[in-house]
Structure 1
């Protein structure tokens, strides 16, 4: 196998795990120099979506790929994604209630320094790993954590009741958890 074919297969596997996206640093680690990255973008095989962020042009589109892109956007200097999909966006992702969020909500740790892109609302919040679920290229808050976050948010009482009821009906939370959430909302 040629080294360029092997390198492309490694990049494809990496991009597949991240909904088609990859960072310039990740490509560099696989042997794609910055001039080579520029060449692939110019030729159209890679789409540059943000500074230092690419998408394989041939990768199939998916409804949640923008969340994977934002996860990579949120990476720190060590290349670790910092953002967790949360609040209104997590509620919609879990298909709880009739809420259609106008913005994408992400929770980021204290000290996060990037300015949110248009249409993104950042919440400074440490989300324990136990309260996260791994999706295709991003992390999202668990159903219970999402509902807990929504109890103290600006979500209308009707939508919150609907979300809790739907989560209980679908077996996503236990009756005790539903009781505790209803008690917390007052």
Structure 2
């Protein structure tokens, strides 16, 4: 006799609970839902289709939305390959005044998916520059500042992020400068300006 623990809904619910209610068609298939049964649950309104091959349990849509819920959706959209980065990562870390109009994601070379809501950056990120969050990954604060500066963000965005990062004692000036130098001349100049503004 099948125990409750072995039932597809229990397995998928546990998985989705770690992903703020989101899951992919492939994950549902792994947990015992055929494509036919997936169609049934979407048609009945049990699952909400949020993108091609990405769903969410209806119950989670009734809960107050978390500020980062949508980032889990994009992590699943990328099949787990994307890392939240640049100005979007600054927002995750609550650094400064960044308010990007698109979701910034860093993806490995060869990534093919596209969406108008997303700004994609191609890079192979070192593991030590990535943080794990609930349902998605994000670049660490120092990296986020440097890559945002390299991307040509307004100077006041960089200034505010650098100020908050230093005020919290999360990073040193040398760490910021090194990261900016690695990101390129534009990043180095913007971070140097932000550090000078700190002393002004």
Match of 1:149 in 2: 147
Match of 1:110 in 2: 109
Give structure 1 stretches of 5+ with no counterpart.
76-80
1:4 Cα deviation (Å)?
6.8
1:153 Cα deviation (Å)?
2.0
Match of 1:96 in 2: 95
Write the distance in 2 (CA, Å) between the matches of 1:50 and 1:109. 21
Residues 31 and 182 of structure 1, relative CA distance in 2, 3 Å threshold: closer
User: 1:76-128: CA deviations, max 9, x gaps?
Assistant: xxxxx11110001111221111121111111111000112x122110111111
Match of 1:130 among 122, 128, 131: 128
The total of aligned residue pairs comes to 180
CA contact (8 A) 2:143 2:179 kept: no
CA contact (8 A) 2:146 2:180 kept: no
Select the structure that is richer in helix: 2
Q: How do 1:36-55 residues align onto structure 2 when only pairs under 5 Å count?
A: 36-55=37-56
Structure 2-normalised TM-score?
Answer: 0.82
RMSD: 1.9
Write the distance in 2 (CA, Å) between the matches of 1:4 and 1:73. 29
1:3 Cα deviation (Å)?
5.4
SS in 1 for 2:59: coil
Q: Does 1:67 align with 2:65?
A: no
CA contact (8 A) 2:16 2:22 kept: yes
Write the distance in 2 (CA, Å) between the matches of 1:142 and 1:57. 32
Write the distance in 2 (CA, Å) between the matches of 1:169 and 1:122. 30
1:180 Cα deviation (Å)?
4.3
SS in 2 for 1:9: helix
1:182 Cα deviation (Å)?
7.5
Write the distance in 2 (CA, Å) between the matches of 1:125 and 1:150. 14
SS in 2 for 1:58: helix
Give structure 2 stretches of 5+ with no counterpart.
182-187, 193-200
Q: Does 1:58 align with 2:64?
A: no
